[in-house]
Amino acid sequence: MPAFPDPARARGRRPVAAALGAFLLLPACQALLGGDGRECATTVDCLDDQICAVDRGRCVPTTGGRPDRTLDATRPDAGDATLEAGLPDARLDLRVPDESVPDPPDRDLPDLRIPDVQAPDVEPPDVLLPDAGISDVYGPAGDCFPDAPFGTFRESAGAPVPRALCTPEALLWTSTDADGLTTLMSRRGDVERALFTLPPTAPFLASGGVVLVEMPDALRGGRMGVFRFDLAEGPGAMPAAVLPAPVDHWHATRARGVTGFVEGDETTSAVVLLFDDNRTLRCGEAQHRQWGLSLGEASTAWFEQPSAGGAVDLVVVGAHACAPALRVTIPPGVEEGDRLERDGTALYWLATEAATRRRRVHTFDTARPGIGPRPVNAEGLGRVNPVEFVVNDGWLLLSAFDDRAYRLHLFDLTNGRKQQLPFAGSARAPALSGTVALWAQQVGGSPWEIHYGRLLTR
């Protein structure tokens, strides 16, 4: 779009241009007014420093020496110059050649004021106008922040730590206002929507255009429930409980065509697979506790421990099934409530080391079970104490409690090297997409902010 002229700058140039024009015109005007104005038919009838303006029939002075021909202002090749020797407002065309930059013409600027038109009364929709400075935050094909390597996306007015996800369907994040109300927001292209309110610390995930949220169900006496919301729904849609029941549901996960979660009460639990065609499977050993459910395209996995206590096993079964079950003995240190993270066929989790009391990231590749579970080795990873992490496409992003603050660490698991991200203060709520790392950041007593950084191209 062409830029409008800047009135202030244009006004600032006019005095300079006027002064310069007056300086250049002064000798010509003095000479012009100093001529005797004698009658002539040709330049021969005039003095040496004059020429004949035949259309006037008068001699007029020239400052550049006598020309070889008679000046005829009516001829096409005479240009736009106008010489009116006998008038005090005589003008000379002093325009410079085309190869130089001309001074802007001294003309009135257009009136750029917006007409005073009364806008019609319209009910406010749930679609919000984008803030200035955050254009192109969600590009084509689900590419978040395609035009900047890193930066700040949003500031949260409330105390809870905000969370953000970049998905192929939309950019999602939580926003808490000054009154403590937390809303899940979405952005696709230039359109922002306020989807629904949720508890400030409620876990949520998104997969294939489906958002799953774990939060209390008011219709079941406040029992923890798993709620589903489809991003394709129009304005006014609300999340619905996936399977209303008088028990708690937690550790929700999602794969193509199926939602998984753990169901239980104070004495028993089970893994529930709820398919989009309303089929339901319940898995897991009786008299055992299950948690940390993870669904993949080729397998389903969870932690399991006898209700009376004892060793924790990693259970791996076929995709969307309860059998055959592979029980993997894992090192101690997994705590009830820990989650499994998945990157392709590899599973990741945190476990506490008895000697150091630090948590370590462990992994098990379901495609190569013979290797067994093992700690993840990467540059400097063994010296940090992670509290939360995510993995995606060979990247490991974690928040670790070091030096009385939560620090952000990024590792490339394909080569074991640590990568740098521009962060300061404390960093929580790490998230990864194929191209972007997201996290919440707080410096001193300032509000939490959502930051992002582009991942390096391998």
Span 143-192, pLDDT tens digits: 888 888 999 999 888 789 999 999 999 999 999 998 899 999 999 888 89
Are the beta carbons of 41 and 55 closer than 8 angstroms?
no
pLDDT given for residue 264 in this prediction = 93
Of 78-87, 248-257, 362-371, least confident by mean pLDDT is 78-87
Residues across the chain: 458
Sign of the torsion formed by the C-alpha atoms of 288, 291, 297 and 298: negative
Which of these, 250, 268, 246, lies nearest to 260 by C-alpha position? 250
Residue 447 domain flag? no
pLDDT given for residue 404 in this prediction = 85
Assign 18 to helix, strand or coil: helix
Structural domain that includes position 99: 1-117
User: What's the pLDDT tens digit per position in 81-122?
Assistant: 333 333 333 333 333 344 433 444 444 433 433 334 333 333
User: Following CA atoms 111, 115, 116, 118 in sequence, which dihedral angle do they give, to the nearest 10 degrees?
Assistant: -170
Average pLDDT over residues 257-264: 96
Residue 172 domain flag? no
Residue 326 domain flag? no
Q: Please tell me whether the peptide bond between 105 and the residue prior to it is cis, using omega within 30 degrees of 0.
A: no
pLDDT given for residue 254 in this prediction = 97
- Name the pTM for this structure: 0.70
Which of these, 441, 286, 296, 278, lies nearest to 367 by C-alpha position? 296
User: Following CA atoms 290, 294, 297, 300 in sequence, which dihedral angle do they give, to the nearest 10 degrees?
Assistant: -20
Q: Which amino acid is at 166?
A: C
User: What's the pLDDT tens digit per position in 36-52?
Assistant: 566 776 665 676 667 67
Expressed in percent and rounded to 5, the helix, strand and coil fractions of the chain are: 10, 40, 50
Residue 73 structure tokens: 């202002």
pLDDT given for residue 457 in this prediction = 82
Taking the C-alpha atoms of residue 346 and residue 390, their distance in angstroms, rounded to an integer, is 12
Average pLDDT over residues 371-383: 95
- Average pLDDT score, the chain: 79
Strand partners, 50: 61
User: What's the pLDDT tens digit per position in 203-231?
Assistant: 999 999 999 999 999 999 999 999 999 99
Please report the beta strands in 62-163, taking only residues with DSSP state E, as ranges in sequence order: 127-128, 150-155
Residue 183 domain flag? no
Residue 152 structure tokens: 């700040």
Q: Is the pLDDT of residue 377 over 60?
A: yes
φ, ψ of residue 93 to 5 degrees: the values are: -85, 110
Other Cβ atoms within 10 Å of 155 Cβ, number: 12
Residue 12 structure tokens: 């600032």
Are the beta carbons of 435 and 149 closer than 8 angstroms?
no
Residue 436 domain flag? no
> Distance of CA 130 to CAs 115, 135, 330, 452, Å?
24, 7, 48, 18
User: Following CA atoms 36, 41, 43, 45 in sequence, which dihedral angle do they give, to the nearest 10 degrees?
Assistant: -60
Residue 103 domain flag? yes
Residue 423 domain flag? no
Residue 225 domain flag? no
Average pLDDT over residues 342-359: 95
Of 321-325, 379-383, 413-417, least confident by mean pLDDT is 321-325
pLDDT given for residue 40 in this prediction = 72
Q: Is the pLDDT of residue 340 over 50?
A: yes
Are the beta carbons of 173 and 163 closer than 8 angstroms?
yes
Of 34-48, 177-191, 256-270, 420-434, least confident by mean pLDDT is 34-48
Strand partners, 150: 453
